[in-house]
Chains A and B, each alone.
Chain A
Amino acid sequence: MVQAPGEVGTVFELFRKSKYFTVQPESKREIPEGLWIKCRCREILFSKDLSRNYKVCQKCGHHFRLTAWERIELTLDPDSFVEFDADLEPRDILEFPGYAQKLAKAQEETGLREAVVTGEGTIGGHRVVVVVMDAHFIMGSMGTVVGEKVARAAERALEKRVPLVAFSASGGARMQEGILSLMQMGKTAAALGRLDQAGLLYISVLTDPTMGGVSASFGFLGDIILAEPGALIGFAGPRVIEQTIRQKLPDGFQQAEFLQEHGFVDLVVPRNRLRDTIIKILGLHQQGE
Chain B
Amino acid sequence: MPTVFDFEKPIYELETKIAELKQFSADKGLNLNREIEVLEQRALELKRSTYGNLTPWQKVLIARHPNRLGARDYIDNFCTDFVELHGDRAFGDDPAVVGGIGRMNGYAVTVVGHQKGRDTKENLVRNFGMLHPDGCRKVLRLMRQAEKFGRPLVCFVDTPGAHCGIGAEERGQAEAIARNLMALSTLKVPIVVVVIGEGGSGGALALGMGDRILMQEHSVFSVSSPEACASIIWKDAGRAREAAEMLKLTAQDLLRWGVIDEIVPEPLGGVHRDPEQALELLREALFRHLDEICRLDRGELLRTRYHKYRAIGNL
Contact = CB atoms under 8 A, between A and B. Distances in A.
B185 A241 contact: no
Interface in B152-209: 162, 164-166, 168-175, 177-179, 181-186, 201-202, 205, 209
Interface in A177-205: 177-187, 189-194, 196-197
A26 interface: no
A67 interface: no
A88 B249 CA distance: 25
Contacts, number: 177
B178 A182 contact: no
B1 interface: no
Contacts of A178: 222-223, 246-249
Contacts of B205: 182-183, 185-186
B174 A215 contact: yes
Contacts of A174: 223
Interface stretch (A51-59, A72-80, A216-224, A267-275): A216-224
Interface string A238-260: 00110111000110011000000
B202 A185 contact: yes
A194 B181 contact: no
B310 A182 contact: no
Contact of A189 (B178, B248, B312): B178
B223 A236 contact: no
Contact of A179 (B174, B182, B232, B248): B248
B178 A262 contact: no
Contacts of A219: 174, 178
A186 B309 contact: yes
Contacts of B172: 220, 262-264
B169 A254 contact: yes
B309 A187 contact: yes
Q: Name the prevailing secondary structure of the B interface residues.
A: helix
Nearest to B242: A97
A190 B211 CA distance: 13
Interface in B235-284: 246-249, 253-254, 257, 259
Nearest to A234: B169
B313 A180 contact: yes
B182 A253 contact: no
A235 B306 contact: no
Given A94-B246, A189-B182, A182 B223 contact: yes
Given A175-B224, A189-B182, A190-B185, A183 B313 contact: yes
B165 A245 contact: yes
Nearest to B257: A180
Interface residues of B, number: 50
A190 B306 contact: yes
A249 B166 CA distance: 8
A216 B173 contact: yes
Contacts of A193: 182-183, 185-186
Nearest to A250: B166
A264 B186 CA distance: 22
A163 interface: no
Contacts of A187: 309-310, 312-313
B315 interface: yes
Contact of A241 (B169, B254, B315): B169
A235 B254 contact: no
A236 B173 contact: yes
Contacts of A241: 164-166, 169
Given A185-B205, A186-B205, A216-B173, A175 B178 contact: no
Interface of A: 91, 93-94, 96-97, 143-144, 147-148, 151, 173-187, 189-194, 196-197, 211-213, 215-221, 233-236, 240-241, 243-245, 249-250, 253-254, 262-264
11 contacts: A148-B314, A173-B201, A175-B233, A179-B249, A180-B259, A185-B205, A190-B306, A194-B186, A236-B169, A250-B166, A262-B172
Closest 7 CB pairs of A and B: A144-B313, A189-B181, A190-B185, A236-B164, A215-B174, A235-B173, A216-B177
Interface of B: 162, 164-166, 168-175, 177-179, 181-186, 201-202, 205, 209, 221-224, 228-229, 231-233, 246-249, 253-254, 257, 259, 305-306, 309-310, 312-315
Given A178-B248, A185-B177, A264-B175, 19 more contacts: A93-B315, A148-B314, A178-B247, A179-B222, A180-B257, A180-B312, A182-B201, A182-B205, A182-B223, A187-B310, A190-B305, A190-B309, A191-B310, A196-B182, A215-B174, A216-B181, A234-B169, A241-B169, A264-B172
